[in-house]
Amino acid sequence: MRASNRNADELRPIEFIRSYTKHAEGSVLVKCGDTHVICNASIEENVPSFLKGKGQGWVTAEYGMLPRSTSSRMGRESSRGKQSGRTQEIQRLIGRSLRAIIDLKKLGERTIFIDCDVIQADGGTRTASISGSYVALHDAIEFLLSNKKITESPIIDSIAAISAGIKGADILLDLDYSEDSECDTDMNFVMTGKGSFVEIQGTAEGIPFTKDEMDQLTNVASKGIQSIINIQSEALDKKP
Amino acid sequence: MRASNRNADELRPIEFIRSYTKHAEGSVLVKCGDTHVICNASIEENVPSFLKGKGQGWVTAEYGMLPRSTSSRMGRESSRGKQSGRTQEIQRLIGRSLRAIIDLKKLGERTIFIDCDVIQADGGTRTASISGSYVALHDAIEFLLSNKKITESPIIDSIAAISAGIKGADILLDLDYSEDSECDTDMNFVMTGKGSFVEIQGTAEGIPFTKDEMDQLTNVASKGIQSIINIQSEALDKKP
Amino acid sequence: MRASNRNADELRPIEFIRSYTKHAEGSVLVKCGDTHVICNASIEENVPSFLKGKGQGWVTAEYGMLPRSTSSRMGRESSRGKQSGRTQEIQRLIGRSLRAIIDLKKLGERTIFIDCDVIQADGGTRTASISGSYVALHDAIEFLLSNKKITESPIIDSIAAISAGIKGADILLDLDYSEDSECDTDMNFVMTGKGSFVEIQGTAEGIPFTKDEMDQLTNVASKGIQSIINIQSEALDKKP
Amino acid sequence: MRASNRNADELRPIEFIRSYTKHAEGSVLVKCGDTHVICNASIEENVPSFLKGKGQGWVTAEYGMLPRSTSSRMGRESSRGKQSGRTQEIQRLIGRSLRAIIDLKKLGERTIFIDCDVIQADGGTRTASISGSYVALHDAIEFLLSNKKITESPIIDSIAAISAGIKGADILLDLDYSEDSECDTDMNFVMTGKGSFVEIQGTAEGIPFTKDEMDQLTNVASKGIQSIINIQSEALDKKP
Amino acid sequence: MRASNRNADELRPIEFIRSYTKHAEGSVLVKCGDTHVICNASIEENVPSFLKGKGQGWVTAEYGMLPRSTSSRMGRESSRGKQSGRTQEIQRLIGRSLRAIIDLKKLGERTIFIDCDVIQADGGTRTASISGSYVALHDAIEFLLSNKKITESPIIDSIAAISAGIKGADILLDLDYSEDSECDTDMNFVMTGKGSFVEIQGTAEGIPFTKDEMDQLTNVASKGIQSIINIQSEALDKKP
Amino acid sequence: MRASNRNADELRPIEFIRSYTKHAEGSVLVKCGDTHVICNASIEENVPSFLKGKGQGWVTAEYGMLPRSTSSRMGRESSRGKQSGRTQEIQRLIGRSLRAIIDLKKLGERTIFIDCDVIQADGGTRTASISGSYVALHDAIEFLLSNKKITESPIIDSIAAISAGIKGADILLDLDYSEDSECDTDMNFVMTGKGSFVEIQGTAEGIPFTKDEMDQLTNVASKGIQSIINIQSEALDKKP
C-alpha cells in the first residue's frame, strides 16, 4: 500500500471541472489528487506565419507554474526573463499530443492556444495538463461548431496521459511528487481513446530499466489511461 | 442603476477563500465579482542583499495574469521574456502597500513574497490583489507565530484597496472592466483599517477632473474600503 | 526655512531653455533647481500598429537617467538589458499626461516621441520631465504648423507637474532629493493650465496620510503648478 | 532497400575520431553517415552551487548547431539571444544520459562539461551526440586518472543511442534526415553496454503506434546500440 | 574649402567645459563643433572580480547616445534590451585608450567608470568621447589626490583622439557627419601627449587606401591631436 | 627564433580545405597553424529590409567560438543570451572586409551570409576568418554563376588578413596566442590582392607605438598577406 493509501496500479482521484473561468472558449480545472491545473483553450482567427495560406489550422500549448504551486517557492519565469528548459519541453509535449488527435485541415485557418497553468503541484503536472487540455479543446471545438465556424468536428480521437514508475520492485501507476523523487525509472505515456500510443518518454533516474520492466509499465499505464478516458467522457457528457 | 445591477456606491460581492492552495504559508482566492485572484504568501528565511545584517525583514510582491484571464488572450510574459510596464507598476504598488502596515523589524530577517496571480479578470485586479494579499499575509504571520518563529505580530494595521471612477455625471465605486473603459477618470485608493491613506492614484483618461470630483471619489472609496476591511475581518475570524 | 533656503510653499528656480539640441523638432533643457532634464520631441510620420488607419496620431514618451546623474553611479539600463520598473512607470506617466492635452485626431497620422533624459538629478525628475516636455511638444507642434503639415494646433491646454510632501508637521512644495527621502508622504500632481487634474499619485512611505493632509498637499501643489504654467508661457513667448 | 542503400535494420557507417581538437580533455568528432558532431569534454575543478560541499561531482551538457549545418541556414542562437526549446531538450537529454553511467561520488567535486556542436546535420544529431560524448567523457576520465586527480574510474557502464522509426509498414533503424521527415513514428533509445535502457522517447508524428510496433522498434534499436557500443570500444582501444 | 568653412587640415572648434554636472568626481561637456558629449568619471571603491586582490585598479567606459542626438530618432538601447555592436565597439575603444595612460597599480584597488553620453551628434563622437574623457579622468584623479586617497598621480601621459578621412583627392581632418558619409576611407587615431599611438583604426568604406594615403592621414591626425592636447591642457590649467 | 620555430616574418602554415561541409554553397575549413575556423557561405534570395527594392545585394557575417576552442572553456553565448562585444566587433569587421571586394549591384537582390565558427583557437581567429571567408565566398559566387543566377562575377578583388605585433624589439608576423598575450602592440591588417588596405586596426596593449614601428608592422604584414593571397589562389585553382 502506498503512502497515499493507493494500490500500486490505482489512479489518484481525477476530476474535470468545465467552464472554470468565463473568458476562454474551453476552460477546465483538472484535479489529479493534489495536482491542480487550469487548462484554457483559446481560439484565434489566424495561423502562425509558416502556415499562412495552407488551408489548415494549428494547435499549440504553453505551460506555466504559479511560483508557489510547489512546496518551496520557485522564481517567476516572467521575472527571470526566460522559460526554463523543463517548461519548454512540457509545452512542446502538450502541443504535439493534442495535434495528434486533431485533423488540422478540418479546423480551418485558425489557431487554438492551450494554456496549462499549474496552481498546485504534487507530481504529474504534464500528464494532468494533457488529460485536462483534451477536455478544454473539446469545449473549444464545440464552441466553433455551435457558432457555425466549422460544420464538422476536427477531433479524430480522445487523448489522455499518465505516468508510471519503478520503485524498488514495484511498478507504480500515477506517481505523486514524493514517489516521483524516489523512483528509479519514471515513464510518461500519452495514448488515444482507441488505445494507440502518441508519446512515450521514459527516463532512468537511478538503475537503468529492462525490456520486461518497460512492458509492465506500459501495461499498467494503458489501463490507467483507459480509466481517465472514461472519466473525460463522463465529464463531457454533462451540460457544461 | 449600473449594468451589473449595482448602485453607484455599491461594491461587487467580495469573498476571501483562505487555505486555497496547500503549499503556501498564506493562500487566498479573492473574488470581487468576476475578478478572481490567487494571493499566495511565501516565507523565506533570508532577506535581499541590501538588507543583509540590518535586523529587519522585507515584504515584496509579484503579479501576473494567466494568458486567458482576459476576454482576448494576452501573450504570456515568460514567453515574451519580459514583464510589461503595467505588471511592474502593479507589483510595486502591492509591495509598497503591504509594507505600510508591517513593522519590518518585528518580522525579523526573513522575506514574505506575495504572489498575486489573476485567474479571471473583470476590472480591479490590482485593488483585489491588495485586499486579498492582506488576508494571505495575515495567515503567513499566523504561521510564523504558531511556529514560534516570532513572538509578536508585526502587523500594525489592516489594509484594503478599491477603485472609483467618474462616468459622465456619476461617481461609481468598484469599477468592472466595461465601466473602467468608459470612465473619464479612474482612481485607485489604498487605505488602512484606521482610515488613513497609503496610496492614491488617479488618472484622467478623458476629461481632466476637478478638486470637487476628487473629493467625491475619495469619499465613496473610503466607505467602500471600510466595508472590505469588515469582510476581511470576518474571513479572518473563521478557522482557516 | 528649508535646507535649500526656501519657504515651505516655494518652488525651486525653474527654467526652460528651448532649442537646446539641434536635431529634434522640439528640444528643451528644463532646470528645476539642480534637477536638469533634456526633453526632446521627435516627429515621425507613422503611428503604432494598433492605430494604423484610424485617422489619428499618437504621443508617447521614454525616460532615462545618465548613469552619473545621481549621487552614486547607477548601472546603465542598456547594459543591464532592461528598463527598471521605475523607469517604465515614469515614462508611462509622462506619455499619459501629454496625451491628455492633445487632440490626437488633429495631430493626424503621426507620432510624437518625447525623450526625457535626466543629466543631473536632485529629486522631482518625473515632474520636471512633464513640465519640460510640454514646452518641447509645443515647439514640435509649431514645427508642424509652420511646415504646413497641420493647419490647426492639436494642443487643447497647457500642462505641468509638481510634487508636494509631508515632512513631520510641514507641507512642502517641490521636494528636492534629500527632502524626498525624509518625507512620510510624497504626492505628484499633474494639472492643466485651466486648473483640472490629469494625474494624482500619492504614496505614504512612512505614516499614512489623512484626507485633511491630502487637501493641503493638493492646495499647495495647485498654486505651484499655476506658477510653472506662467513660466512655461513666458518661455514660449520668446523667439526660440 | 533504403535511399541510402541500407537494409531496414542497418546502421549508417559510424566513426569516432579522438583527440579531434587540442584543448579539451576529451575531444571526439563523431560521424554517423553525413551527421558530424564535435563532442568536447572539459573538466572544471568546481561544482554547481546546489552541489557545493556534497562530496560529489557533476556532468552536464550543452548542444548547438552551426547555422549552416542544415540544408537551409538557421539563425544563430547567440544572435537571437536564446536557445530554442529543441536545443534545451536535447542538451538536457545528453546530460541525463551520461550521468546515468557515472558514479558522481567517485568523480569528486568537479564538473565535466560536454559540448556537442553539430557541424553537419543529416538526422540523428542527438543520438550521435550521446554516442560520441561517451567516448569524449571516457578520454576526460583517462586524463583525470593519468594525472592522479582520481584513482578509480567513475565510469559504471558504456552508453550509446540510436533512433528507429516506422515508415509505412517498415521498421527502420538509424533514420537520416529525409527518412525522419517521412516517418509516422520516431523513437530515440539510449542504452547501456549491459543492455538496459536509460531513456526512451517515442513520438507519433503521424499515425499513433501500437504496442507491437513499439516492441519491434525496441528490438531493432537494441541490436543497433550493441553494434555502436562495439565500435566505441574499438575506438577506445586505439592509442588516442 | 569645406562645407563647414574649414581648411582640409583644420579642426572644428573644440571646448572642454569642466564640472558640468555636480555629482561625478570628473564631469566634462566636450564640444567638437556640433558634436556634444557629456563625459563623467565616477570612482567606485572596488574592482571587477577578475582583479580582486591583485593590488591594482581598473578604468572602464560605457557609451550611449540620446535617442534624438541624431538627425532622425534612433531607438533607445535600454528599451530594445541590448547595446548595438557599434556601441560596444566604441566603449571598448574608450576604455582601452584611457587605460593606456594610467598606471593601474598606482590607482589602487578602485574602479573609475567613464560614461560618455552623446547629447548631440555630428560625426566624431568616439574621438570626442576619448578627448573629453581624458579631462574628466584627470579631474577624478585630482579628487582622489585632494582627498588623500592616493598620494601620487597614476596618470602617465595625456591622450586625445581625432578622425581623418579621404574624400576624393583630399585628406580631411576631423570629419563631420556629412563628410564622414562621403569619405572613401575613415581613420580614427588615438595618441598620447608624447606623440605615440595607442589606437589606429582605419576602414575603407569605398575605394581601398594605399600606404601613401595612410601616411598622409597619420600626419594630419598627429598634428590635430597635438592641438587638442594643448586645448585640454589649457582647460585643465583653469580652476574648475 | 620564435617558440613556434618560425622566423619573425614567417607565417604559420596556412591551408584552405574547400567543400568542408555539404550543405553550404561555399564551405571552407581554414587552418592557420593551430587556429582552425569553419567558414560557411550561405546564399539567401532576399535582402535586409533597408535594401529592399534597391537592386543590390548584401554580404554579412556572423562569428562564434565553440566553448572549448580555447584553452579553458568559455561560456556558450547562446546560453548566456548575448554575444560579447568582442564577438560583435569581429563579425562586423569580417562583413565590412568582404563587402569591400564585392560589387553589391552585380550580386543582385540576395544576401550571402558568412558564418565563421572557430573550432580550435590559437590566436588570429579574426584574420583567419577573413582569409577563409574569401575562399568560401568565392565558391558561393561560383555556385551562383554555374546555376545561372548571375552572369558576371561580382568579385572585384581578392582579400586576406593577418596580424603583426611588437614584442620587445621584435616585429613579429602572424601572432599565435602566446605571442599575442606578450606583445605591446597588436595590429590587424586586411588587404586586397592588388595591395591596398581595407582595414587597419592597431592597439597598444602595453607601450604606445611610434610611426616607425607602424611602418615596419605594415611592411611585414603586406608581404604576409601577399603570400596568403597566393595560397588562396592555389586552393581555388583546384577542383573543389
> Is residue E94 within 8 Å of residue E59, measured between CB atoms?
no
Q: How many CB atoms lie within 10 A of CB E169?
A: 5
Nearest CA in chain A to D199: A203
Inform me whether the C-beta atom of residue C96 falls under 8 Å from chain B C-beta atoms. yes
Which residues of chain C lie closer than 8 angstroms to E36, CB-CB?
21
Q: Give the pairing of strands B197-204 and C197-204.
A: antiparallel
Say which of F197, F203, F214 has its CB closest to residue E208: F197
Domains belonging to chain B, first-starting first, are 14-237 (3.30.230.70)
Task: Specify the pLDDT at position A57.
Answer: 98
Task: Specify the pLDDT at position D239.
Answer: 79
Across the beta sheet with F26-32, the strand order is F14-18, F26-32, F35-44, F111-120, F58-65
Query: In this model, does residue D217 exceed pLDDT 80?
Result: yes
Which residues of chain D lie closer than 8 angstroms to A86, CB-CB?
92
C-alpha distance from D143 to closest chain A C-alpha (Å): 26
Helix (H) or strand (E) holding E190: strand E185-192
Inform me whether the C-beta atom of residue F42 falls under 8 Å from chain D C-beta atoms. yes
Q: How many CB atoms lie within 10 A of CB A80?
A: 12
Task: Specify the pLDDT at position B69.
Answer: 98
Which residues of chain A lie closer than 8 angstroms to D211, CB-CB?
197, 218, 222
C-alpha distance from E22 to closest chain F C-alpha (Å): 31
| Cα separation, E113 vs A11, whole angstroms | 62
pLDDT in tens, A81-108: 999 999 999 999 999 999 999 999 999 9
pLDDT in tens, F172-191: 999 999 999 999 999 999 99
Which residues of chain D lie closer than 8 angstroms to F117, CB-CB?
66, 117, 119
Task: Specify the pLDDT at position D65.
Answer: 98
Q: With H, G, I as helix, E, B as strand and everything else as coil, classify residue B71.
A: coil
Place of cell 520557485: A74
C26 is in an annotated binding site: no
Query: Is C130 or D81 the better-scoring residue by pLDDT?
Result: C130
Give me the residues of F, 194-223, that contact E with CB < 8 A.
Answer: 194-204, 207-211, 214, 218, 222
Which residues of chain C lie closer than 8 angstroms to B204, CB-CB?
100, 196-199
Which residues of chain E lie closer than 8 angstroms to F222, CB-CB?
211
Nearest CA in chain F to E219: F211
pLDDT band at E3 (very low <50, low <70, confident <90, very high): confident
pLDDT band at D205 (very low <50, low <70, confident <90, very high): confident
* Cβ distance of F85 and E96 shorter than 8 Å: no
Chains that touch B (3 or more CB pairs under 8 A): A, C
Provide mean pLDDT across the span D158-187. Answer: 96
The grid coordinates of residue A227 equal 480509466
Say which of A91, A196, A204 has its CB closest to residue D210: A196
Q: Give the pairing of strands B35-44 and B111-120.
A: antiparallel
With CA atoms as reference, report the closest residue to E99 among E221, E192, E232. E192
Task: Specify the pLDDT at position D190.
Answer: 98
Q: Report the share of chain C in percent with pLDDT over 70.
A: 100
| Cα separation, D117 vs D25, whole angstroms | 16
pLDDT band at D18 (very low <50, low <70, confident <90, very high): very high
C35 is in an annotated binding site: no
* Cβ distance of E204 and F214 shorter than 8 Å: no
* Cβ distance of C199 and B203 shorter than 8 Å: yes
Task: Specify the pLDDT at position E71.
Answer: 95
C80 is in an annotated binding site: no
* Cβ distance of C76 and E68 shorter than 8 Å: no
* Cβ distance of F73 and D21 shorter than 8 Å: no
Chains that touch C (3 or more CB pairs under 8 A): B, E
Tell me the torsion sign for CA atoms C103, C104, C108, C110: positive
Provide mean pLDDT across the span C21-33. Answer: 98
Query: In this model, does residue E72 exceed pLDDT 80?
Result: yes
pLDDT < 70: residue spans in chain B: none
DSSP string, chain C: --TTS--TT-PPPEEEEES-SSSSSEEEEEEETTEEEEEEEEEES---GGGTTSS--EEEEEEEE-TTSSSSPPPPHHHHTS--HHHHHHHHHHHHHHHTTB-HHHH-S-EEEEEEEEEE-SS-HHHHHHHHHHHHHHHHHHHHHHTTS-SS--B-S-EEEEEEEEETTEEEES--HHHHHH-SEEEEEEEETTS-EEEEEEEESSS-B-HHHHHHHHHHHHHHHHHHHHHHHHHHHS--
Task: Specify the pLDDT at position D206.
Answer: 87
Inform me whether the C-beta atom of residue D71 falls under 8 Å from chain F C-beta atoms. yes
C-alpha distance from B88 to closest chain C C-alpha (Å): 5
| Cα separation, D223 vs D210, whole angstroms | 20
Instruction: Show contacts of E46-51: CB within 8 Å, 24+ apart.
Output: E46/E109, E46/E110, E46/E111, E47/E109, E47/E110, E47/E111, E48/E111, E51/E109
Nearest CA in chain F to D82: F81
Inform me whether the C-beta atom of residue F187 falls under 8 Å from chain E C-beta atoms. yes
Task: Specify the pLDDT at position E118.
Answer: 98
With CA atoms as reference, report the closest residue to A139 among A35, A39, A1, A227. A39
Best of F50, F74, F77, F88 to disrupt the E interface (most E CBs within 10 Å) is: F88
pLDDT in tens, E24-54: 999 999 999 999 999 999 999 999 999 999 9
Q: With H, G, I as helix, E, B as strand and everything else as coil, classify residue B167.
A: strand
Task: Specify the pLDDT at position F28.
Answer: 98
Which residues of chain D lie closer than 8 angstroms to A157, CB-CB?
208
Say which of B62, B72, B120 has its CB closest to residue A79: B62
Inform me whether the C-beta atom of residue D88 falls under 8 Å from chain A C-beta atoms. yes
Query: In this model, does residue F35 exceed pLDDT 90?
Result: yes
* Cβ distance of A67 and B27 shorter than 8 Å: no
pLDDT in tens, C154-173: 999 999 999 999 999 999 99
Inform me whether the C-beta atom of residue B91 falls under 8 Å from chain C C-beta atoms. yes
Across the beta sheet with B35-44, the strand order is B14-18, B26-32, B35-44, B111-120, B58-65
Place of cell 479546423: A107
The grid coordinates of residue B101 equal 502596515
* Cβ distance of D208 and A100 shorter than 8 Å: yes
| Cα separation, A181 vs A167, whole angstroms | 10
C-alpha distance from C9 to closest chain E C-alpha (Å): 26
The grid coordinates of residue A225 equal 489511461
How far are the Cα atoms of B22, B68, D43, E189, F217 from residue B120, in angstroms, in the given order?
A: 20, 8, 50, 62, 70
Task: Specify the pLDDT at position B182.
Answer: 92
| Cα separation, E187 vs D174, whole angstroms | 56
Inform me whether the C-beta atom of residue E49 falls under 8 Å from chain C C-beta atoms. no
| Cα separation, C110 vs C96, whole angstroms | 17
Torsion angle of the four alpha carbons D90, D95, D97, D102, in this order, in degrees rounded to the nearest 10: 170
| Cα separation, E155 vs E145, whole angstroms | 12
| Cα separation, E48 vs F74, whole angstroms | 18
Which residues of chain D lie closer than 8 angstroms to F72, CB-CB?
42
pLDDT in tens, B68-118: 999 999 999 999 999 999 999 999 999 999 999 999 999 999 999 999 999
Task: Specify the pLDDT at position F113.
Answer: 98
Provide mean pLDDT across the span E17-29. Answer: 98
C-alpha distance from D22 to closest chain A C-alpha (Å): 31
pLDDT band at A59 (very low <50, low <70, confident <90, very high): very high
pLDDT band at A3 (very low <50, low <70, confident <90, very high): confident
Best of B73, B88, B129, B137 to disrupt the A interface (most A CBs within 10 Å) is: B73
> Is residue A116 within 8 Å of residue A63, measured between CB atoms?
yes
Place of cell 533570508: B46
Best of B22, B23, B65, B90 to disrupt the A interface (most A CBs within 10 Å) is: B23
Task: Specify the pLDDT at position A210.
Answer: 96
* Cβ distance of F199 and E203 shorter than 8 Å: yes
ipTM: 0.95
> Is residue D202 within 8 Å of residue D184, measured between CB atoms?
no
pLDDT in tens, E82-96: 999 999 999 999 999
pLDDT band at D179 (very low <50, low <70, confident <90, very high): very high
Contacts of A60 (CB under 8 A, 6+ apart): A48, A95, A111, A112, A113, A114
Which residues of chain E lie closer than 8 angstroms to F209, CB-CB?
196-197
The grid coordinates of residue F86 equal 568582442
| Cα separation, C218 vs C212, whole angstroms | 10
Q: What is the DSSP letter of D42?
A: E
Q: With H, G, I as helix, E, B as strand and everything else as coil, classify residue D186.
A: strand
Best of D76, D86, D94, D125 to disrupt the F interface (most F CBs within 10 Å) is: D76
Best of E97, E196, E214 to disrupt the F interface (most F CBs within 10 Å) is: E196
* Cβ distance of A208 and D89 shorter than 8 Å: no
Contacts of D179 (CB under 8 A, 6+ apart): D2, D3, D123, D165, D167, D172
| Cα separation, E75 vs E57, whole angstroms | 34
* Cβ distance of A88 and D91 shorter than 8 Å: no
